[in-house]
Amino acid sequence: MKRDVDLSRAILAFVEEHCPPEGGLKERLEFEGYDYATIVAHAELLIEEHLLDGRVIKGLGAPPHVFVIKLTSSGHDALAAIRDDTVWQRAKKSALEHAVPLTVGALVALIKAELRARLGLDLG
């Protein structure tokens, strides 16, 4: 499977929109153009990156299923940084131009670095 940062971004936005304050996503993650196995694999990556709180259940002979509890604090921060489409596209282009891996974490770091540079901040 090839990582798709646009799908990862869509998953984060979906969870933010559909997850109640007490947690426990009630709706199945579904996105046009993606099969459920690919969506689960990307949700699992987001869980591993600590952007989502959740679990992937894998059983013998059964397809994996993901249970999303909520966005983590880091997930909220990441989504805030990548929400704007123009900023998102610019970060993806910059990552490709500089051979930076296309991960949500790397793109968030690029966006934050650009923001610090624009504001003249040196936050170490």
The model's pTM is 0.87
Whose structure tokens read 């969870």? 15
Residues 6-21: what's their mean pLDDT? 95
Helices in 19-103 by DSSP H: which ranges? 36-48, 73-82, 85-97
What are the structural domains of the chain? 5-72 (1.10.10), 78-119 (no CATH)
pLDDT in tens, 63-94: 888 999 999 999 999 999 899 888 888 888 88
Share the mean pLDDT of the chain: 88
Q: Is the pLDDT of residue 112 over 90?
A: no
